[in-house]
Amino acid sequence: MQLVTTVQDLQALADRERAAGRRIALVPTMGALHAGHLSLVREARRRADRVWVSVFVNPAQFDDPADLDRYPRTLEADLEACRRAGVDAVFQPEVGELYPAGCQTWVEVAGLSRPLCGATRPGHFRGVTTVVSKLLLAAKPHVAVFGEKDFQQLVLIRRMVRDLGFDVEIVGSPIVREPDGLALSSRNARLDPEARRQARVLVAALDAAGRAAAAGERRGAALLHVARNEIAKAPRARIDYVELRDPDSLEPTPAELHGPALLALAVCFDPLEGVAGASVRLIDNRLLRPED
């Protein structure tokens, strides 16, 4: 497994692989790799001859500097996980490599960045789309694989690639969950034991809404009420948003569903009263289908 740290070296490697007729897949990550990331690696392996993983904690997508400081950095463990998974190369640049001094160019998908996570995290998605564009230009992959847990991010990247004409296929890979259903996330490790137990209300909310839709409920307000009721069972859960959106445009769904609808959740779990610490924000989603 090769470790590459500069854009120039990665582009040269990509040129050699492409000249040899080999197909490249890129899995962009911010490190702290878990089973969810490794599922993306497996999907990438099914689609390409060479699998590359980027490990870069992107400062441009953090609106809170303290959140950036808290983000776990486990490079040695990440490299070992990549070796075991058969990754061919890891791209691990320094911040200055992707954001050189005087950098003033940004990539933004305007409309899709505004709702859901964009409403409370200003600038977040501008940072995401900018760094992903830089990674695609550096790695020159034929395909890039992203997790569906960050569904809004996936929609934005697909739109960016289409709008700017990037020659790359964007693949979404299903959410990987822990045994009790909680979506895998590097943030889960920051939950104290009681908050971790209460976090199961996210999947309970998705399950309850899914059951209601499968039983014939088509009223969006009723489905949202079902989901919110489940989350309310967790005393330390604080809702950021619970929304139904069109899975392609991210526009609000009509009052009555007539097609697939994305049920998207963002919930914060606050620290115990009197205990120092920061809230942990978790996201999850499910596609509800009226025909289910």
Cα distance between residue 27 and residue 42, in whole Å: 10
Residue 120: CA count within 13 A, CB half-sphere? 9
225 carries an active-site annotation:
no
Q: Is the dihedral of CA 167, 91, 285, 122 positive or negative?
A: negative
Show the tokens assigned to 87: 């990754």
Contacts of 21 (CB under 8 A, 6+ apart): none
Beta-sheet strands, E only, within 94-133 = none
Catalytic residue among 34, 37, 124, 258: 37
Tokens 């854009």 belong to 7
Integer angstrom CA distances of residue 144 from 41, 105, 118, 130: 10, 22, 23, 15
Cα distance between residue 4 and residue 55, in whole Å: 10
Residues noted as catalytic: 37
